[in-house]
Structure formats: structure tokens, C-alpha cells
């Protein structure tokens, strides 16, 4: 799986994320006019959330995959620089959008000092629900070198054991995340731990995919036509089953392998690569647009596809601006 493949997959994942966040609230069915319905009569925008639920798992899988590829090439990973770059990028988004949200959504932003501090630290999702996996992903990146080294150099028992332990962590994190606590920082830390455990499996699977070259093996054996047919069946099955995070790992792995075997190219491929290039900042601030900055205006467009396209354009244009503002800082950090 090359750089173009991963960027296209990031483009697909950010589109999924935008869709699921737009239509994640069933009450919004009264705010737009769905033109199509699923076979059970449910509005198609709400049903497609089941596919969109794979977005974070795709990002985390690609993160583990990319770091494992870096490790195999030079064994020098510079993870501290990588995480600093992401954190400073996040703080720039906070610096630009928190003051703006204070005017458009004053009942939530900025809140009290504790809310502000924990939000900027990545522990509190009060400002932006899409930030929930930022801190867990930072931690996974920081500890990735020994994890990657163990999986890449260990025997089959080590690989299987890593996957099994990660699966148990997923189950534990999923079921513990619903436990009601007293609130405050303690609850935030418990939520962080649960989120970290839920992301670990996809990160480990990304590393395992590099060790055994799943992408190369699959691509040699599955022709583009069969990959397209397989993708269709996979998406129909996903739409029919549900959006639970427990079901995502096998679907995400198959989705990624089928996608790279489809040989997507041309205008569609270039657009997905463009979205993938700017996916980080689109993830970090798209939530501000419909949660306060211009949410009422977006949903006044009425039609789901039009709402989605407008959010995508707004997020992409803003991401391009933020990325260019941040590039000098990124270059300084990575020197």
C-alpha cells in the first residue's frame, strides 16, 4: 500500500466522518428533507451513518500502518516530533475557532476555566465532539516504537497474543465506557483510558498488515472488478448490521483491502488524495461549522447531499488556509 493509497483512504475516511457527524442526531430528521430511504423505510442519511462509523478505525489503522512502514525503512521514527506537530496544529485550531465559537455558541464556549483547560488538553469534548480520539492517538504514537518492534520481530505467538490482548482491550474499553462516574477530571481520565483501549486493536492490525504484507497479497489475488463487487456486498452487509464499534475491525480491514484493489484513479482519485492531504485539519475543526458557527444556515439548505457538499467545501477551504498558516511551525518542529 503506497502513499497515494493511504491518502485516498484518508480522504474516504474524512468524508465518512463529516457525514456521520452531520446526521448523527436522529432529531435532525426534522431539519432536512431526505429524498431516498433504505429498504426498511429509514431515511438514507441516517442509515449511511453505519458506514460512516468506520472512519476513526480507518484513520487509526492507517496510523499504525504508516508508523510500521517508517520503522521498517529506517528504525528512526521521531515520534516526539510527530506528536508535537499534531498537538501544535490542534492548539492553532483552538486559538482560531474557540474565540469564534464564543460568539456563535456562548452557552457552551468558553465555559469555565476548567472546561477551557481540559478541552485544550484534549480531555474534554465539550467544545468539539470530534476531538475524542486526539489524545489516545497521540499516546499510541508515542508508545508505537516498542509496540512495532515487538510485533515485527516477534514470532507468530507474539503477533497472535498482541491481537488477542488488543481485542480484549477493545471489549473492556467498550463496556467500561458506559459506566457512570462522579464526573469531573476523574471521569475524563477514565473516558480517555476507555477510548485508548478501543483504538488499540486497529492500531495493532495496521502494524500486523505491514509485517505480513496483507495489501500486496490481496492486491495480487483480487482483480478490480471482483474488488468492486466485494465492496458492494461489504457495504450492504454493513448497512444491514449496525454501527457498533465492536463490529468495525473486520469490516475496516476488508474495506481497506478491497478499496486499494479497486485501482481508483482519475478525477475521483485526485479528489480523494486532496481530501486526504487536508484531512487532519478537516477533522479538527469541521465540527465547529454545524455545531455553532453556521449550523442553522447549513441545515436551512434542507437536502442532505447539498448540506454535506457545503460542509465538505467549507471544511476543505478552511483546512487549506489553516495548513498554510501552520506549515512554517511544522517545518520548524520537524527540522
Q: Can you read off the three cell numbers belonging to residue 161?
A: 497474543
Q: Could you give the percent of the chain with pLDDT greater than 70?
A: 90
pLDDT bucket at 332, cuts 50 / 70 / 90: confident
Which pLDDT value is given to residue 28? 52
pLDDT bucket at 74, cuts 50 / 70 / 90: confident
Question: Total domain count for the chain?
Answer: 1
Which pLDDT value is given to residue 108? 66
pTM here? 0.91
Q: pLDDT (tens digit, 9 = 90+) per residue, 186-234?
A: 888 888 999 999 999 999 999 999 999 999 999 999 999 999 999 999 9
Q: What is the mean pLDDT of the chain?
A: 86
Q: Where are the alpha helices (DSSP H) in the chain?
A: 3-22, 44-47, 49-52, 55-74, 79-104, 113-120, 134-142, 144-153, 156-176, 184-211, 214-221, 224-241, 248-261, 266-277, 279-288, 295-299, 304-333
Q: What is the mean pLDDT of residues 6-16?
A: 96
Q: Which domain holds residue 17?
A: 3-333
Contacts of 151 (CB under 8 A, 6+ apart): 68, 158, 159, 162, 204, 207, 208, 211
Which pLDDT value is given to residue 181? 63
SS3 state at 13: helix
Half-sphere exposure of 233 (CA within 13 A, CB side): 8
Which pLDDT value is given to residue 96? 85
Q: Which carries the bigger pLDDT value, residue 55 or residue 43?
A: 55
Amino acid at each position: 500500500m503506497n502513499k497515494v493509497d493511504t491518502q485516498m483512504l484518508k480522504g474516504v475516511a474524512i468524508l465518512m466522518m463529516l457525514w456521520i457527524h452531520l446526521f448523527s442526531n436522529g432529531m435532525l430528521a426534522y431539519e432536512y428533507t431526505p429524498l431516498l430511504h433504505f429498504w426498511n423505510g429509514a431515511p438514507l442519511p441516517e442509515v449511511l451513518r453505519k458506514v460512516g462509523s468506520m472512519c476513526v478505525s480507518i484513520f487509526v489503522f492507517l496510523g499504525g500502518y504508516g508508523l510500521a512502514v517508517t520503522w521498517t525503512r529506517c528504525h528512526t521514527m521521531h515520534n516526539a516530533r510527530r506528536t508535537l506537530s499534531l498537538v501544535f496544529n490542534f492548539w492553532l485550531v483552538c486559538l482560531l475557532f474557540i474565540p469564534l465559537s464564543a460568539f456563535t455558541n456562548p452557552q457552551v464556549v468558553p465555559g469555565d476555566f476548567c472546561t477551557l483547560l481540559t478541552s485544550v488538553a484534549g480531555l474534554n469534548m465539550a467544545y468539539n465532539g470530534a476531538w475524542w480520539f486526539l489524545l489516545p492517538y497521540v499516546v499510541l504514537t508515542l508508545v508505537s516504537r516498542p509496540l512495532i518492534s515487538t510485533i515485527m520481530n516477534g514470532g507468530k505467538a507474539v503477533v497472535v497474543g498482541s491481537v488477542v490482548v488488543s481485542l480484549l482491550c477493545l471489549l473492556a474499553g467498550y463496556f467500561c465506557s458506559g459506566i457512570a462516574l462522579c464526573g469531573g477530571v476523574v471521569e475524563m481520565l477514565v473516558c480517555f483510558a476507555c477510548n485508548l483501549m478501543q483504538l488499540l486493536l486497529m492500531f495493532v492490525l495496521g502494524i500486523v498488515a505491514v509485517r505480513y504484507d496483507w495489501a500486496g497479497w490481496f492486491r495480487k489475488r483480487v482483480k478490480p472488478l471482483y474488488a468492486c463487487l466485494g465492496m458492494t456486498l461489504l457495504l450492504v452487509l454493513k448497512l444491514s448490521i449496525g454501527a457498533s464499534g465492536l463490529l468495525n475491525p473486520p469490516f475496516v480491514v476488508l474495506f481497506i483491502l478491497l478499496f486499494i484493489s479497486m485501482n481508483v484513479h482519475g478525477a475521483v482519485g485526485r479528489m480523494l488524495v486532496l481530501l486526504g492531504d487536508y484531512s487532519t485539519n478537516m477533522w479538527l475543526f469541521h465540527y465547529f461549522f454545524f455545531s455553532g458557527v453556521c449550523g442553522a444556515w447549513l441545515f436551512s439548505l434542507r437536502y442532505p447531499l447539498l448540506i454535506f457538499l457545503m460542509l465538505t467545501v467549507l471544511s476543505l477551504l478552511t483546512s487549506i488556509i489553516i495548513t498554510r498558516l501552520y506549515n512554517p511551525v511544522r517545518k520548524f518542529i520537524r527540522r
